[in-house]
Amino acid sequence: MADNPYLAHLPPSQRGAVHSSSSSSSEKEPLFGFLPRKVKGEQVRKALDHQLNPFTKQPHSAQYRKILETRRALPVFSQMDDFLELFSKNQIIVMVGETGSGKTTQIPQFVTYSDLPHTKGKLVACTQPRRVAAMSVAQRVADEMDVQLGKQVGYSIRFEDMTESGTTFLKYMTDGMLLREAMSDTELSRYSTIILDEAHERTLATDILMGLLKTLAKRRKDLKIIVMSATLDAVKFQSYFSLHDSAAGEEPSPAPLFKVPGRTHPVEVFYTQEPEPDYVEAAIRTVLMIHRAEDPGDILVFLTGEEEIEDACRKIKIEADDLLNADPSSVGPLICVPLYSSLPPQQQQRIFDAAPKPSQAGYPPGRKVVVSTNIAETSLTIDGIVYVVDPGFSKQKVYNPRIRVESLLVSPISKASAQQRAGRAGRTRPGKCFRLYTEKDFISELEEQTHPEILRSNLANAVLELAKLGIKDLVRFDYLDAPAPETLMRALELLNYLAALNDEGELTALGGVMAEFPLDPQLAKMLIVSPEFKVSNEILTITAMLSIPNVWLRPPNQRAAADQAKAMLTVPEGDHLTLLNVFNNYSQSTYKDERNWAWNNFLSARALAQAENVRAQLLRTMEKYDVDVISLEDERKRNIGIRQALTCGFFMQVAHKEGEKGSYLTVKDNQVVALHPSCGLDTQPEWVLFNEFVLTKRPYIRTVTEVKPEWLLEYAPVYFDLASFPDGETKRVLQRVANRRRGTSNGGEEPRPKKKLKK
């Protein structure tokens, strides 16, 4: 038995157990003869058919055998031998599997059988861009492997670690979670194989992980990596992960590709003859055309946002009712369901409702129309969709590093996105996709791929993470797509002003702690310094409230009541203090009926519950890094302390009032901005600090608090170094303040021009 290689890889404490069970015959040991990473398909199939579960040593259940039959029908299942051979021979594999191939559930299991992570005390990880996916896939795989979720198979997402240390060997997790783990263990030493799933989505976290894993693979020859993606991107991933031994003078050879066909139904694609001037109107017209003329089957329409969707739903409903009333014997009833993320979960569930029944026996069946944002393109799948209407637009985030602003723009989608949308029509049977643009435009105008997030975002957070990951030269990091140098410079500049990076671009001790918080750098900085102002308890709450979506509800038919409720909670010194007040009132109300309190005050109970969760998580991190949680008794002093702490994080987001008309200029950038109408300040203070710059109909600053110019000079002396300050009214005012602080009239500077402020 000693030469049983399976035993050789078991820790000594476990050898006895296997020994006794396998001593009589190999029949009792499902993994008998398995050599890690040399396992063949035939062996795995035998183990799958074995009466004992190799991981629990329990007999397989009836449910297991039933599921196994459905697994055998998956396209990826029939290619198990090829996969295992490729896995045995290579460190990095790129895998392409179209929808319905079964890759997300099966590949990690194949890897587990080959890798035998449990024999080495390691794990196989499979990353997902979204939490729900990580949770639901883990549950499915636990069922397939006939184990309890959270034991051998688990998942790890923010706020929930469903794994058991020492037991779990296959873990589904969000990409962000693996990135966090990498910050404390840059070797990712717990893992034997890492599978990046949905890599084609190119989330910021996946992109950074790819860069990290590419270099890590050179140091850790025992680590295997599988990058799983949709078809179009495979070549790019293959060449990025090409193996080359430059010392041997070899030509780089692309990483091997493993390809599995999908299992979907054909979708017929139609284009318009001419471009459509109004895509919303065209989409409505197309829906009604399908409803009148096409066979039964539900319709999915892609639009760009909440307002557009609600509007389209209303119009479709009116028109469809007219059709039904005019001729109930030839047109069926229609229901129209909106879908977007800010919709309460209960209403989101309506997309799974069945289509309405015929209005009378023998009359045409009803039809369901789902009008959705991009959420139905990736995050949610609706079975029974036969028709897709694709106007070709979506709202996309763009980042302008020059003015440091992220904004949302309605933009044409990519070919990849259009293909994904069309595919939504063929999940249950052959379908049709109506593209509301010409074939010529599809071919020549649409980009191949949507720009990856790393090219469209503010990278302050990512750069801090990379620094924490030990990446020395952030500009020359091996990105799959390198961000614009200006975006990186902006991030480095911000982190340097926040003292997270020193002048050499190295991570400071403060920066190291900042990176530990799942927050934007400004928020992390403010939270960490807040004990100096004895208000960290309050800043903790404000930070949590700023990390969640908008809490204020404003139903269209109850605007006045909502505004009145908001006024009751408003603190005139600033919106940040208002947020604090809201949360405190909410927590005090929890012993009663919190949902009711939130509801009565036109606040989102869901968002407030989220804030509570975030607050608890941040509190744990504070405790871990000895950031004291303290508070001031005196309300006046406390509010000043809070505003001072805010200044320490957000001194780069300050605006100065120009004239009396209520127009503000952002400091240094000199952008003309206005206070957002949601702002609760009762006056227009000379200096304000803002959480957000939003570019909608006009440039607005949102979530605003009054600050004192003395604080800017005192808490951010480097940023407010007047010698390097752009000339203008703001500088002159600051200069006066500086002079006053020094107790001199003009502190040795040139005499300032005696210019009177007009108006």
Partner DNA sequence: GAGCACTGC
d(CA 719, CA 648): 11
Largest CA distance in the chain: 101
Give, in degrees to the nearest 5, the angle at Cα 628 between 625 and 630: 160
678 binds DNA (CB under 7 A): yes
Under the criterion CB under 7 A, does residue 396 sit at the interface with DNA?
yes
| Closer residue to DNA, CB minimum distance, 159 or 270 | 159
Smallest gap from residue 619 Cβ to DNA (A):
15
Report if residue 130 touches DNA, rule: CB under 7 A: yes
Q: What secondary structure does DSSP assign to 53-73, as a single string?
A: -TTT-SBPPHHHHHHHHHHHT
Q: Is 606 in the site for DNA (CB under 7 A)?
A: no
Of 61 and 550, the one with the shorter C-beta distance to DNA is: 550
Query: Residue 567 and residue 563: Cα distance in Å, rounded?
Result: 6
By beta-carbon proximity to DNA, the closer residue of 517 and 651 is 517
Pattern 458-477, binding to DNA, x per CB under 7 A? ---x----------------
**Which of 258, 302, 477, 700 is in the footprint of DNA by CB under 7 A?**
700
Q: Does 104 bind DNA (CB under 7 A)?
A: no
Least distance CB 208 / DNA (angstroms): 11
Answer yes or no whether residue 697 interacts with DNA by CB under 7 A.
Answer: yes
- Termini Cα distance of the chain: 95
- Is 236 or 395 the residue whose CB approaches DNA more closely? 395
Measured between alpha carbons, how far is 732 from 303 in angstroms, rounded to an integer?
49
- Closest CB to DNA among residues 71, 395: 395
Restricting to residues 421-440, which ones interact with DNA according to CB under 7 A? none
Residue with Cβ nearer DNA (274 or 448):
448
Binding DNA (rule: CB under 7 A), the pick from 241, 258, 340, 583 is: 340
According to the binding rule CB under 7 A, does residue 205 interact with DNA? yes
DSSP label at 358? Answer: P
Residue 603 CB, shortest distance to DNA, in Å, is 11
Q: Applying CB under 7 A, does 70 fall inside the site for DNA?
A: no
Q: Does 714 bind DNA (CB under 7 A)?
A: no
- DSSP category for residue 471: -
Q: What share of the chain is helix, strand, coil (3-state, %, to 5)?
A: 45, 15, 40
Q: Looking at beta carbons only, is 581 or 621 nearer to DNA?
A: 621
Cβ closest to DNA, residue 305 vs residue 356: 305
Place of tokens 């007219």: 322
Question: Which residues, other chains included, contact 427 with Cβ-Cβ below 8 Å and sequence gap of 6+?
Answer: 99, 100, 264, 265, 381, 383, 385
Q: How many CB atoms lie within 10 A of CB 73?
A: 10
Structure tokens at 85: 């051979």
Instruction: State the minimum distance, in angstroms, from the CB of residue 722 to DNA.
Output: 34
* Residue 414 found at the interface with DNA (CB under 7 A): no
Question: Which of 439/682 has CB closer to DNA?
Answer: 682
**Which of 38, 131, 259, 292 forms a contact with DNA (CB under 7 A)?**
131
* Residues 260-319, interacting with DNA (CB under 7 A): 304-307
User: What is the pairing mode between strands 687-695 and 654-658?
Assistant: antiparallel
Of 152 and 174, nearer to DNA (C-beta) is 174
C-alpha to C-alpha distances, 701 to 544, 698, 705, 731, nearest whole angstrom: 20, 10, 11, 21
Instruction: For 64-141, list the strands marked E by DSSP.
Output: 92-97, 123-128
If the CB atoms of residues 404 and 676 are measured against DNA, the closer one turns out to be 676
**Site stretch for DNA (CB under 7 A), options 103-111, 528-536, 641-649, 696-704:** 696-704
Given 225, 413, 519, 546, the residue binding DNA (CB under 7 A): 519
Q: Tell me the three state secondary structure of residue 498.
A: coil
User: Which is closer to DNA, CB of 256 or CB of 305?
Assistant: 305
670 part of the interface to DNA, by CB under 7 A: no
CB of 680 to DNA, least distance (A): 10
Q: Is 379 in the site for DNA (CB under 7 A)?
A: yes
Pattern of binders to DNA over 344-363, x per CB under 7 A?
--------------------
> DSSP string covering 680-731, please?
--SS--SEEEEEEEEESSSEEEEEEEE--HHHHHHH-TTTT-GGGSPPSHHH
Edge-to-edge order in the sheet of strand 224-229: 160-162, 153-157, 170-174, 123-128, 191-196, 224-229, 92-97, 257-260
- The stretches of 437-505 forming alpha helices (DSSP H) are 439-444, 460-468, 485-497
Give the number of other CB atoms < 10 A from CB of residue 560: 9
Of the pair 264, 417, the CB lying nearest DNA is at 417
Is 329 a binder of DNA (CB under 7 A)? no
Contacts to DNA from residues 533-592, by CB under 7 A: 547, 550, 552, 554, 559, 563
The pair phi, psi for residue 208, each rounded to 5°, is: -70, -40
Total of residues contacting DNA (CB under 7 A): 46
Other beta carbons less than 10 A from residue 687's beta carbon: 23
Q: Would you say 36 and 8 are in contact if contact means Cβ atoms under 8 Å apart?
A: no
For the CB of residue 118, give the shortest distance to DNA in the complex, in Å: 24
Instruction: Please tell me whether residue 154 binds DNA under the rule CB under 7 A.
Output: no
Question: Where does this chain bind DNA (CB under 7 A)?
Answer: 129-132, 157-158, 174-177, 180, 203, 205, 304-307, 340-342, 373-375, 379, 394-397, 408, 461, 518-519, 547, 550, 552, 554, 559, 563, 676-678, 694, 696-698, 700
